[in-house]
């Protein structure tokens, strides 16, 4: 009993400490009951250069002059934060802030969440899955984070961790692979390592909404922040990615170049308040 | 007719009492007196008889593989200390071969990382690897769970273990962990000596032990007989250029390093090394005494090999056999029921 009391005390103390530190960071307090929160969403509208993305059927050309189509595109978005002009911000509840955006499933293009009513001029999120969640007990990894879930393999079993970004397609410049296809495969992940430090491809994306429309979250309405996601940027960035030279990039040092490239995929188009 | 019925009844009661007797000896997880504290997070997976029994059934369940032919127990055989006796590399589905030797399922509650390269850091995440590996069980976990859900027994077994019939990834993995965590080997002659339970080493074993402490125990640290580190022990680079730990860390200093395996039950876990290249313990000792190769990241402790004469080797082998735990190899609690 004594043990229980001391444990409870420690838990209470540490959680109050947690709140105390939060205040310093000017986190907006979430005193609202769920019914009082406003509905919000971020829409991820995948495009390739100036064109719509159509899986399998349309060919595109990258900066290396290589033609390709895309057969699969999916990525994790997590840890959504909304910022106000006064510097304060609201962090979406961690247990409902993990989204797998899949081009093949239109319903997944929206990351939907709740936030206190207010005017938000900046959005930030993590492209990938943070290291805390990547090493959490398996019982805390449900939904899109379920390592067993049939999410077309967004999890590496052999080297425990999530694949953050996955893009595959066919290109005439890719070598014939063992399945007889000219396929390129980019599976980018790496949360920094648990038992030893290694690749960290976790990227935080920050987007200013001022120019194209701030998000006005109001109870009873849904504010939708519409982002364009230009996946051509994964090829054309500080590194010019060549499919011929790198047809398959997974857990390797080269993946850092692709991750650096794709951080510039996102731009704000408009907000529907 | 009556007689037959009685006989059937009797046999049935006998079977029930038999499995009951086995479970009556179930004591949960107990840390052996000469072992350090375990590292597994038991607080998030409290051991119970029902969860353990479920885990054991899952361990021997071929439905976890694509065509229902391979179970965990296929490559981890109890009589070989849960290794795949006689196979250099694991022999999986459709007669496909892996690239590495099946490691023993033994004393995992103390192990910080899993697999020869340490790519998995949580026992609860471990079973996903062999289930999904193309050359092992080649199944999608979600598919395996679907098979369990439509099985006549599993929903009830999950209910017994967890309170309701839901079959989830976490419940399945944690039940498997419970079985593996209870695969504790700590009843060898060595343990009996070290816990002062009455046994004593023969003079040959004693000499072997002294030699072992001098020449082997830095890496094969007592009482688990591994320090869980990753080292290049100077075996020639394999034809498939398996770079071991490097594949997980991408750190050049980890190239050709593999996890130091425990030597408990080493008498039964042949063949040896990550690719099973040595079929006898004599060959292993010969390697350390005279065949160390200077490959990148060779462990500095082995740069000149381990000098051992013929008598040393005989004494060492005598000591290594004191690490055999026959109870572990035959314990009915851990066997397929």
The ranges assigned to domains in chain A are 1-27, 31-272
Residues B90, B98: Cα–Cα separation, whole Å = 5
Same domain, B104 and B210: no
Q: Could you report the per-residue pLDDT of B25-58, keeping only the tens digit for each?
A: 788 999 999 999 999 999 999 999 999 999 999 9
CATH (domain of B112): 1.10.760.10
Out of B158, B185, B212, a domain closes at: B185
| Chain A nearest C-alpha distance from B20 (Å) | 30
Q: How far apart are CA A54 and CA A50, in angstroms?
A: 12
Residue B17 has a pLDDT of 46
Q: With respect to residue B331, please indicate whether it lies within any of the assigned structural domains.
A: no
Note whether B125 contacts A157, CB cutoff 8 Å: yes
The candidate with the shortest Cα–Cα distance to B226, out of B195, B198, B185, B275, is B185
DSSP state at residue A152: S
A199 contacts B250 by C-beta, under 8 angstroms: yes
Residues of B within 8 A of A253 (CB-CB) are: 250
C-beta contacts of B71-78 below 8 A and 24+ residues apart: B72/B105, B72/B127, B72/B130, B72/B176, B73/B336, B75/B102, B75/B130, B75/B136, B76/B102, B76/B104, B76/B105, B78/B329, B78/B330, B78/B331, B78/B334, B78/B335
Whether residue B5 lies inside any domain: the answer is no
- Please report where in the chains the tokens 């290109």 appear, as a residue: A171
According to the model, what pLDDT value does residue A27 have?
A: 66
The answer to whether the CB atoms of A135 and B121 lie below 8 A apart is yes
B256 found inside a domain: yes
Q: In the predicted model, is pLDDT for residue B70 greater than 60?
A: yes
Residue A24: predicted pLDDT = 41
Same domain (yes/no): B154, B195: no
CA-based nearest distance A36→chain B, Å: 33
Instruction: State residue B1's pLDDT score.
Output: 41
Helices (H), chain B: 2-24, 49-59, 72-75, 128-132, 141-149, 154-162, 169-181, 189-194, 203-215, 246-249, 281-290, 310-321, 326-330
Q: Give yes or no: residues B57 and B115 share one domain.
A: yes
Is the residue at B12 inside a domain? no
Q: B19: pLDDT confidence band, cut at 50, 70 and 90?
A: low
* Angle formed at CA B43 by CA B38 and CA B49, multiple of 5 degrees: 90
The shortest C-alpha distance from A69 to chain B (Å) reads 27
Q: Which residues of A touch B44 (CB under 8 A)?
A: 137, 139
Q: What is the pLDDT of residue B138?
A: 87
Indicate yes or no: CB of A157 within 8 angstroms of CB of B247.
Answer: no
Contact list in B for residue A141 (CB cut-off 8 A) is: 169-170
Please give the full DSSP string across B21-62, using - where no structure is assigned.
Answer: HHHHT-------TTS----S-GGGS---HHHHHHHHHHHT-G
Element (H, E) at A132: helix A131-134
pLDDT at residue B3 greater than cutoff 90: no
Query: How many angstroms away from the CA of A177 is the closest CA of chain B?
Result: 17
Q: Check B128 against A137: CB less than 8 A apart.
A: no
Number of domains in chain B: 2
Those residues whose C-beta lies under 8 Å from the C-beta of residue A3, and which sit 6 or more positions away, are none
Q: What tens-digit pLDDT sequence spans chain A (273 residues)?
A: 344 444 444 444 444 444 434 334 466 665 556 667 999 999 999 999 999 999 999 999 999 999 999 999 999 999 999 999 999 999 999 889 999 999 999 999 999 999 999 999 999 999 999 999 999 999 999 999 998 876 568 999 889 999 999 999 999 999 999 889 999 999 999 999 998 999 999 999 999 999 999 999 999 999 999 999 999 999 999 999 999 999 999 999 999 999 999 999 999 999 999
Whether residue B221 is contained in a domain is answered as yes
Q: Which B-chain residues 16-55 have CB contacts (< 8 A) with chain A?
A: 41, 44
Does residue B192 surpass a pLDDT of 90?
yes
Query: What is the per-residue pLDDT for A53?
Result: 97
Under a CB-based contact definition with an 8 Å cutoff, are residues A226 and A270 in contact? yes
**B59, B161: one domain:** yes
Contact B314/A at CB under 8 A:
no
| 8 Å CB contact of A157 and B129 | yes
User: Does residue B211 sit within a domain?
Assistant: yes
Burial class (CB in 10 A: 0-12, 13-18, 19+), A236: middle
E strand map for B235-288:
258-259
Strand, coil or helix: A257:
helix
| Residues B176-191, mean pLDDT to the nearest whole number | 97
Question: Angle at CA A202, nearest 5°, toward A199 and A204?
Answer: 150
Label the pairing between strands A38-48 and A222-230: parallel
In this prediction, residue B92 carries a pLDDT of 84
Contacts of A194 in chain B (CB under 8 A): 121
Better pLDDT: B93 or B83? B83
Best of B244, B249, B255 to substitute, by most chain A Cβ atoms within 10 angstroms, is B249
pLDDT attached to residue A179:
86
Rounded CA separation B246/B238 (Å): 15
Asked if residue B307 and residue B196 are part of one domain, the reply reads yes
| B166 contacts chain A (CB < 8 A) | no
Last residue of a domain, one of B153, B185, B217: B185
A149 chain-B contacts, CB cut-off 8 A:
142, 169
Partner residue opposite A196 with nearest CB, options B120, B173, B251: B251
A135 in contact with chain B, both atoms CB, cutoff 8 A = yes
Q: What average pLDDT does the segment B172-188 reach?
A: 97
Q: b or e along B118-148 (b: 16 or more beta carbons within 10 Å of the residue's beta carbon)? A: bbbbbbbbbbbbbbbbebbbbbbbebbbebb
- Residue B206 belongs to domain spanning: 189-326
A4–chain B Cβ distance below 8 A for any pair:
no
3-state DSSP assignment of residue A246: coil
Q: How far is A210 from chain B (nearest CA, A)?
A: 41
Are B131 and B260 part of one and the same domain? no
Asked if residue B41 belongs to a domain, the reply is yes
**Single residue among B185, B202, B235 that ends a domain in this structure:** B185
Do the domain assignments include residue B280? yes
Of A11-20, B207-216, B300-309, which range is least confident? A11-20
**B251–A199 CB contact, under 8 Å:** no
β-sheet bridge partners, residue A253: none
B54 with B176, same domain: the answer is: yes
Residues 59-118 of B with CB under 8 A from A: 112-113, 115, 118
List the helix and strand counts (H, then E) for chain A.
3, 18
Of residues B129 and B12, more confidence is placed in: B129
B266-300 confidence digits (pLDDT tens): 999 999 999 999 999 999 999 999 999 999 999 99
Query: What are φ and ψ of residue A41, in 5° steps?
Result: -155, 155
């Amino acid at each position: 009993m004594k043990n229980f009391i001391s444990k409870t005390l420690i838990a209470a103390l540490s959680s109050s400490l947690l709140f105390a530190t939060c205040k310093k960071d000017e986190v907006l307090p979430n005193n609202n009951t769920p019914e009082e929160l406003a509905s919000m969403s971020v829409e991820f509208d995948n495009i390739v250069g100036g064109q719509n993305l159509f899986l399998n059927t349309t060919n595109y050309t990258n900066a290396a002059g290589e033609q390709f189509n895309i057969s699969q595109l999916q990525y994790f978005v997590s840890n959504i934060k909304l910022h106000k002009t006064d510097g304060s911000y609201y962090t979406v509840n961690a247990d409902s802030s993990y989204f797998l955006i899949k081009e093949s499933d239109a319903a997944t293009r929206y990351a939907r969440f709740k936030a206190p009513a207010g005017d938000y001029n900046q959005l930030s999120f993590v492209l990938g899955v943070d290291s805390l969640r990547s090493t959490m007990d398996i019982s805390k990894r449900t939904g899109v984070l379920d390592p067993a879930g049939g999410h077309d393999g967004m999890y590496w079993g052999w080297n425990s961790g999530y694949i953050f970004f996955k893009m595959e397609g066919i290109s005439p410049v890719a070598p014939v692979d063992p399945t007889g296809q000219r396929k390129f495969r980019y599976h980018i992940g790496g949360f920094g390592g648990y038992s030893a430090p290694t690749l960290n491809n976790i990227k935080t994306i920050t987007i200013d909404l001022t120019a194209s429309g701030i998000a006005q979250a109001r109870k009873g309405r849904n504010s939708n922040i519409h982002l364009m996601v230009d996946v051509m940027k994964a090829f054309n960035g500080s590194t010019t990615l060549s499919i011929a030279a790198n047809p398959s990039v997974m857990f390797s040092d080269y993946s850092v170049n692709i991750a650096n490239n794709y951080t510039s995929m996102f731009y704000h188009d408009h907000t529907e308040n | 007719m009556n007689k037959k019925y009685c006989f059937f009844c009797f046999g049935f009661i006998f079977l029930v009492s038999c499995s009951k007797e086995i479970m009556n000896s179930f004591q949960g997880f107990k840390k052996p007196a000469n072992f350090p504290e375990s590292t597994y997070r038991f607080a998030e997976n409290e051991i119970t008889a029902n969860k353990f029994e479920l885990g054991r059934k899952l361990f021997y369940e071929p439905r976890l593989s694509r065509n229902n032919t391979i179970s965990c127990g296929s490559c981890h055989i109890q009589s070989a200390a849960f290794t795949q006796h006689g196979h250099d590399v694991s022999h999986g589905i459709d007669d496909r071969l892996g690239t590495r030797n099946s490691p023993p399922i033994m004393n995992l509650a103390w192990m910080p990382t899993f697999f020869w390269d340490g790519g998995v850091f949580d026992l609860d995440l471990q079973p996903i690897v062999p289930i999904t590996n193309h050359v092992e069980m080649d199944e999608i976990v979600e598919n395996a769970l679907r098979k369990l859900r439509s099985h006549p027994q599993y929903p009830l077994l999950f209910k017994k273990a967890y309170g309701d019939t839901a079959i989830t990834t976490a419940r399945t993995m944690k039940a498997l962990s419970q079985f593996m965590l209870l695969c504790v080997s700590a009843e060898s002659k060595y343990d009996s000596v070290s816990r002062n339970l009455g046994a004593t080493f023969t003079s040959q074993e004693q000499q072997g032990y002294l030699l072992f402490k001098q020449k082997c125990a830095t890496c094969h640290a007592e009482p688990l007989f591994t320090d869980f580190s990753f080292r290049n022990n100077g075996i020639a680079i394999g034809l498939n250029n398996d770079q071991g730990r490097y594949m997980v860390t991408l750190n050049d200093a980890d190239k050709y390093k593999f996890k130091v395996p425990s030597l408990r039950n080493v008498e039964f876990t042949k063949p040896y090394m990550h690719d099973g290249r040595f079929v006898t313990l004599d060959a292993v000792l010969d390697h350390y005494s005279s065949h160390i190769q200077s490959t990148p990241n060779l462990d500095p402790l082995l740069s000149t090999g381990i000098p051992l004469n013929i008598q040393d080797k005989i004494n060492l082998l005598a000591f290594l056999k004191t690490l055999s735990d026959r109870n572990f190899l035959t314990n009915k609690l851990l066997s397929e029921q």
